[in-house]
Amino acid sequence: MCLTAQDSLDTPLPIQGIADNSFPADIDSAKFFEFYKKEDIDLTQTNNMALYYEVFRWYKTCYRYSGSSDKGIDCSGFSQMLYKKIYGKDVPHGSYSIYPLCIPIKDKSKLQEGDFVFFTIRSKSRISHVGVYLQNGQFAHASTQAGVIISNLSEAYYTKYWYRGGRLKD
């Protein structure tokens, strides 16, 4: 069953120093902070809070091949939507189509918030999965099994299929 992050969390945390009115009206600030705390993401380290708001809104949205709506979305549709909404940049729908538009990043330690992360899951010679890097090895993506989630590049599965990161060319 696909849920939203706001549906799946129910323990409010006290929020100090941040007024609720600074949040988008559709986001419960307590659930937002609880969610990222569970994901081990330090929001004080972000350069673009809008990226984290949008990932939160889409969390657990169901996976649908070639999907690009809240009824179901695939990995490239999710990455495409984030780039359009957060950065105002158009990228194609198709993980293998996005990569040529990027400056390749081989070293994971060089990744920056908002970079693409690419994987060769179905074939070692063709990119078949993409996500958007957040911080500390964490990236947001649409998984075929769980929908939109946050995963870590150090997980065995993603280490096995890692191809490269990519920073969109200007």
Catalytic residue among 2, 62, 102, 129: 129
Catalytic residue among 2, 62, 75, 93: 75
Q: Is 129 a catalytic residue?
A: yes
Q: Is 141 a catalytic residue?
A: yes
- Distances in whole angstroms, Cα of residue 92 to Cα of each of 13, 48, 77: 39, 22, 8
Q: Are 117 and 139 in contact (CB under 8 A)?
A: yes
Catalytic residue among 62, 93, 102, 141: 141
Q: Give the integer Cα–Cα distance in Å for 131 and 142.
A: 7
Helices in the chain by DSSP H: which ranges? 5-8, 29-38, 49-58, 75-82, 95-98, 156-161
Cα end-to-end span (Å), the chain: 39
Sheet holding 138-143, edge to edge: 102-105, 162-168, 116-119, 129-135, 138-143, 147-152
- 139: which residues sit within 8 A by CB, 6+ positions away? 117, 131, 132, 133, 150, 151, 152, 153
Query: Which sequence positions are flagged as catalytic?
Result: 75, 129, 141
